[in-house]
Chain A
């Protein structure tokens, strides 16, 4: 039996799931499996990123994603620096590209960026010399979230082939939904999107998913229910009348969950609004909720992404 050559991830950056093929995604997930094991050891430190500099550039406040990337980089031996730009430079009128040029001059190997504007990571990637990881750009993509969701599911279900996943809530403003729609379908899942019509983007019907504007039919027979955070900070208009009305019609509770398959799994990218989009007893169901798995898989997936992109990064330039 001949062994196939190891698959070489062909991208310099991870800006989105769009543009990845199935092999690319599986390469990341396979690598991540290894880092799940590493993360469960007492000795968690690896050295593949020793000598590498990773900058986490966050223009939007984020506790969990930023710390997940930080832990991932540190476990791989990178020097990790966190920069929150929500207040300092932007207030002084510095633009995204100015900040990028400044950081680029410090010669990082990996730049993890989160920004409130769609396309910000793409713009940065055009202007810096290092690998860029999109940690969420506006309502566009959040690729590592989708990858960690896929990893959580494949570890539980084996394969996503033919699995029905209902993604519920604020699809319109959700980068998590966009990345997941692409990745889950790439891995063979059937995706349903459900939300009040004001929170469904026009054109979602062309994404390959089935779109529902009522919750119960979307849950009917689903294997997985992924609830999205009702992103209050992006609600510039009145998209829903009230929190209690939202919970009544769109919040996942045991009664509504009964429409899904008996052992349907429950996911949420966090942070949760308990009592708004999800009832506590559902979120905390130890048998069915994958929510804490998602957090654990987040570190492993980000380790895999950083590792794979660092392999593709050009060797350090030596100034003669």
Chain B
């Protein structure tokens, strides 16, 4: 017998329709059986959850998670990453191929999916390497990887330096309908930079990454994508200059989309402070006007997706001089709070803030999740949108605690998380 759960008295937010209403939701087994406005009907044998007027919305879909497995299990595992995801209201994660070994072989996709089935609390979708070993020299077996379950193809933290190979990879991917993602950062222009190129990094004596590095790469790769007629996702656009290039490409009809990390929506280059390595990210935290431009672009739909850019790094890789520390921050448990922060700051509506982490990534990947509709998967979260909390790194569920939000006050958290109709997280039960 399947379990039925009736979530009553909810502020139901469906970012797919941009709609928000007082209503109810019935989960039956692993799907949403029904939903409606007003008081909930009586449903025989259903567990009733009284949302008490709180937000119920689709679980978040995070397109960029580094989960450590295989090869870096001391940093994170699918089990710990998915526990963090569940607590953060994230019900689907796309894990990066930046592992050891690199996910560039169908057998490794199979391994990841079986590990996820056995150990993960949320849905895990592997992204595969666009080139073998992420080396940027040979196209990976995109077709076989796709058939094994890869949902996306990325070249990890680097773009393809070789424009000819990029063109062939996109042409090849188009034939298979595969989505390709690249980090827009020209390696030569980025140089040895470790922070946003600007006044603050110059004062600190840190080499800067110019925004030009992003702009130039977006211009090149958008032109190649347009020529190839292939879909391309720019992974973590960080700057106003990059957004301007993206806007021009989209206006020209290039089939491109873009993500932004939650870190870049909430923090700026001054958060590096006194060489805080937890704020060393790649791309680096940019200037305040860049952050503001990213929020505008999100509201306008120029940026399609928000990712956590979850990248666990243990103390031995962070307790170093700034330039020697490994970039990256854990973000699964703060993604939702950052999105809600945009609502509290009156930058956008709740549906607008949730869309780039629910239905928008679902549409990019062709997943049925990310929306509230009859027959959709029962991946749903109950959210206390206003709950204030202080992010303490030691309380995080990730194996690594490197959050740039350490000691910051945030607002809004998931209370309960369902994946395929099953409760995978219940804050009241765990107490934190």
A interface with B by C-beta (< 8 Å): 18, 95-97, 115, 117-120, 122-123, 137-141, 175, 178, 201-204, 206-207, 236-237
Residue of B nearest to A97 (CB): B319
| A96 cross-chain contacts in B, Cβ below 8 A | 320-321
Report yes or no: A18 in contact with B203, Cβ–Cβ below 8 A: yes
Neighbour of B202 across the interface among A95, A123, A204, CB < 8 A: A204
Report yes or no: B275 in contact with A123, Cβ–Cβ below 8 A: yes
Report yes or no: A95 in contact with B203, Cβ–Cβ below 8 A: no
Q: List 15 A-B contacts (CB under 8 A).
A: A95-B316, A96-B320, A97-B319, A118-B321, A118-B322, A118-B323, A120-B321, A123-B320, A137-B321, A140-B204, A201-B208, A203-B198, A203-B199, A207-B199, A236-B191
Q: A122-B275, A237-B191 are in contact. Are A203 and B203 (CB under 8 A)?
A: yes
Q: How large, as a class, is the contact surface on chain B?
A: 20 to 34
In the bound complex, CA of A123 to CA of B273 (Å): 12
Q: A96-B321, A123-B321, A138-B323 are in contact. Are A201 and B202 (CB under 8 A)?
A: yes
B interface with A by C-beta (< 8 Å): 191-192, 197-208, 210, 274-275, 316, 319-324
In the bound complex, CA of A204 to CA of B199 (Å): 7
Residue of A nearest to B207 (CB): A139
In the bound complex, CA of A120 to CA of B321 (Å): 5
In the bound complex, CA of A236 to CA of B190 (Å): 13
CB distance from A238 to the nearest CB of B (A): 12
Point out which of B202, B316, B323 has the most chain A C-beta atoms below 10 A from its C-beta: B202
CB distance from A142 to the nearest CB of B (A): 10
| A178 cross-chain contacts in B, Cβ below 8 A | 203, 205
Report yes or no: B202 in contact with A202, Cβ–Cβ below 8 A: yes
Report yes or no: B205 in contact with A139, Cβ–Cβ below 8 A: yes
Interface SS of chain B: loop
Report yes or no: A115 in contact with B199, Cβ–Cβ below 8 A: no
Q: A122-B275, A203-B203, A237-B191 are in contact. Are A117 and B316 (CB under 8 A)?
A: no
In the bound complex, CA of A138 to CA of B204 (Å): 9
| B205 cross-chain contacts in A, Cβ below 8 A | 118-119, 137-141, 175, 178
Nearest 4 pairs of A and B residues by beta carbon: A203-B199, A117-B321, A140-B205, A119-B275
| A117 cross-chain contacts in B, Cβ below 8 A | 320-324
In the bound complex, CA of A120 to CA of B324 (Å): 10
Residue of B nearest to A203 (CB): B199
| A122 cross-chain contacts in B, Cβ below 8 A | 274-275
In the bound complex, CA of A95 to CA of B203 (Å): 25
| B204 cross-chain contacts in A, Cβ below 8 A | 118-119, 140
| A207 cross-chain contacts in B, Cβ below 8 A | 199, 203
| B275 cross-chain contacts in A, Cβ below 8 A | 118-119, 122-123
Residue of B nearest to A137 (CB): B205
Point out which of B197, B201, B204, B210 has the most chain A C-beta atoms below 10 A from its C-beta: B204
Report yes or no: A202 in contact with B208, Cβ–Cβ below 8 A: yes
In the bound complex, CA of A201 to CA of B201 (Å): 9
Q: A119-B275, A139-B205 are in contact. Are A203 and B322 (CB under 8 A)?
A: no
Neighbour of B197 across the interface among A118, A123, A137, A202, CB < 8 A: A202
CB distance from A78 to the nearest CB of B (A): 27
Other than A118-B323, A138-B206, A140-B204, give 15 A-B pairs with Cβ distance below 8 A. Answer: A95-B320, A97-B320, A117-B322, A117-B323, A118-B205, A118-B275, A119-B205, A119-B274, A119-B323, A137-B321, A139-B207, A141-B205, A202-B197, A203-B199, A206-B199
In the bound complex, CA of A122 to CA of B323 (Å): 13
Point out which of B198, B202, B321, B323 has the most chain A C-beta atoms below 10 A from its C-beta: B321
In the bound complex, CA of A117 to CA of B206 (Å): 9
Point out which of A18, A140, A204 has the most chain B C-beta atoms below 10 A from its C-beta: A140
CB distance from A301 to the nearest CB of B (A): 21
In the bound complex, CA of A117 to CA of B322 (Å): 7
Residue of A nearest to B194 (CB): A118
CB distance from A242 to the nearest CB of B (A): 21
